[in-house]
């Protein structure tokens, strides 16, 4: 688990790197060549986060997170083509606690997303993808999430290696 965030805020370059181990399982049900339903469970026992902004450097840690998700994927252009286009939606349930493990189920969040992914493959060697998704709703246990603005549209770019996917 090595997600990296790079941003510029007020003219200062911010780099955030998380390091952790994620355990989980995923099940994909293929109904047709173009329609799949994916469900999964993951557990992140904790992570370390490095943050650098200008001359400042911070090290922090995060608590554990248990996630259960289910989603549907429909390909407007099939995944077997050089250029594929997927529309996806999903629902996720996230439990996150403080370092004390008995707090794991005390704070939970239900989230719904809607998005699309365009993927371009160069043979069976490499693929590039662009994913755009929006959080349609978010419900936190214990009442809403006051004072926290709705997150913006998420845009991500990725690089994949299709020849590694066949090893699974």
User: Is the overall model pTM greater than 0.85, yes or no?
Assistant: no
Regions in the chain scoring below 70 on pLDDT: 1-2, 97-107, 141-151, 163-168
pLDDT for the residue numbered 1: 62
Q: What is the Cα–Cα distance from 103 to 22, expressed in whole angstroms?
A: 19
pLDDT for the residue numbered 103: 58
pLDDT for the residue numbered 168: 43
**CA angle, 116 then 16 then 98, to 5°:** 90
pLDDT tens per residue, range 141-165 = 655 555 456 667 888 888 888 766 6
pLDDT for the residue numbered 98: 58
Q: What is the Cα–Cα distance from 27 to 71, expressed in whole angstroms?
A: 11
């Amino acid at each position: 688990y090595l997600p990296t965030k790079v941003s510029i805020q007020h003219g200062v370059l911010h780099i955030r790197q998380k390091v952790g181990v994620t355990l989980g399982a995923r099940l994909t049900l293929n109904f047709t060549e173009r329609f799949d339903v994916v469900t999964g469970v993951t557990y992140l026992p904790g992570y370390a986060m490095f943050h650098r902004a200008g001359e400042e450097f911070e090290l922090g840690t995060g608590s554990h997170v248990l996630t259960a998700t289910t989603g549907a994927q429909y390909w407007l252009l099939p995944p077997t083509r050089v250029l594929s286009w997927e529309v996806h939606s999903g629902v996720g349930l996230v439990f996150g606690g403080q370092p004390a493990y008995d707090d794991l189920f005390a704070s939970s969040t239900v989230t719904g997303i809607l998005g699309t992914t365009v993927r371009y493959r160069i043979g069976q060697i490499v693929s590039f993808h662009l994913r755009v998704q929006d959080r349609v709703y978010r419900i936190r246990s214990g009442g809403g999430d006051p004072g926290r603005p709705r997150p913006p549209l998420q845009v991500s770019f990725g690089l994949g290696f299709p020849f590694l996917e066949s090893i699974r």
